Amino acid sequence: MAKAKQAGQSDSDLKLVKGAAGDIWAGLTGARISTQQLNRSKVISAMRKDPSHVAIDMLRTRLLQAMQEHGWRRVGITSATKGCGKTFVASNLAVAMARGESRRVVLIDMDLRNPGLAQVFGVPSPPRLRDYLGGYQLAEEYFLKVGQNLVLGLNSTIESGASELLLETMTAEVLAEMCSLFRPDVVIYDLPSALDHDDVIAFLPQLDGMLLVVGGGETTADEVREVERMLGDTVPLIGVVLNKGEGGG
C-alpha cells in the first residue's frame, strides 16, 4: 500500500507500493447508511421501489456492456451546466452496479468546487480529497466501504484551485495506485459540470469514457455539441442521459 507523504517530502520521494486487493477491501471502514437517508437522497436503485429504478437498471446494463466490450473501467459522469442531476445519476448507477455479487465498484466525488456525494450518503465531515490525491493520506484511511462491493471516496471541502489539483502528476499516480490496490471492475467519477470551468478538461486523461447528463428543459443542443467538441478524440462519449426530474448536481 502507499505510504502517506510527510510534510516537506517531495512527490519523487513517495513510494507507491501495490498491495493485495482482498486485504485492502477487508480492512476498509464500513459506512452505516440508513434506508431513510437513501430515500431522502433519491438513491432509488437501493430500494428499487420507485418505478424509475428500471431506467437506472437499463442504463447500468448498457453501460457495463459497452465498458466490457472496450475493456474500459473508468467512467466520468458530467453535465453541461449545473443542476442537471449528474450526482443523482452517478450515485444511483454506482449502487445499481455494486448489486452484482462479483462486481466491485468505486465511486469518487471529483466535483471539487461543489462536492455533493457526502450529503447524498449522509456521511458528515469526510476526509479531504485533496489530502488523498496529494499523497498525504492512505487509501484505507480515506475510502469508506458500503456493503461488500461499493467503495466511496467522498469530500466536503470546496477547492477553488480544482483544475490545478487535477493536473498534478501526483493525482494521476494516486488514482493509478488506487486502481492497482482495489482492482475495481468499475470506477465512477462524479465530475463537475463541463462548461463552467476547465476541471473536466484537466481530468480527461484519467478516464476511459464519459456519460453526459442533460436536464430536460435545461440543457440546449448547443451545449451538448460544445461538450462533444471539448471531449474531441481524447475520451469517447459513451452516451447522453436525459434526466427529467432530478437536480442537485
Tell me if 66 is assigned to some domain: yes
Residue 31: inside a domain = no
Residues above pLDDT 90, as percent of the chain = 78
Q: What is the pLDDT of residue 32?
A: 87
226 occurs within a structural domain: yes
Domain assignment present for residue 29? The answer is no
Q: Is residue 184 part of a domain?
A: yes
What pLDDT sits at residue 247? 53
pLDDT band at 19 (very low <50, low <70, confident <90, very high): very low
User: How many structural domains does the chain have?
Assistant: 1
pLDDT of res. 188: 98
The one-character DSSP state at 210 is E
Q: What are phi and psi of 76, to 5 degrees?
A: -100, 145
Instruction: Output the pLDDT for position 81.
Output: 94
In a domain, 38, yes or no: no
Mean pLDDT of 189-213: 97
Q: How confident is the model at residue 111 (pLDDT cuts 50, 70, 90)?
A: very high
Distance, CA of 200 to CA of 234 (rounded, Å): 12
Euclidean distance between CA atoms 209 and 73, whole angstroms: 8
Residue range of the domain that includes 179: 53-243
46 belongs to a structural domain: no
The reported pLDDT for the residue numbered 46 is 83
Where residue 61 sits, what CATH number does that domain have? 3.40.50.300
**Average pLDDT score over residue span 36-61:** 89
Torsion angle in degrees (nearest 10) through CA of 228, 63, 111, 248: 100
Asked if 190 and 109 count as a contact pair (C-beta separation under 8 A), the reply is yes
Write out the three cell numbers for 5.
507523504
Is position 39 within any domain?
A: no
Residue 246 has pLDDT above 70, yes or no: no
Q: CA torsion, points 89, 92, 93, 94, in degrees to nearest 10?
A: 120
Range list of H helices, 2-134? 21-27, 35-40, 44-47, 53-70, 86-97, 117-121, 129-133
**Interatomic CA distance for residues 142 and 82, integer angstroms:** 27
Model pTM score: 0.89
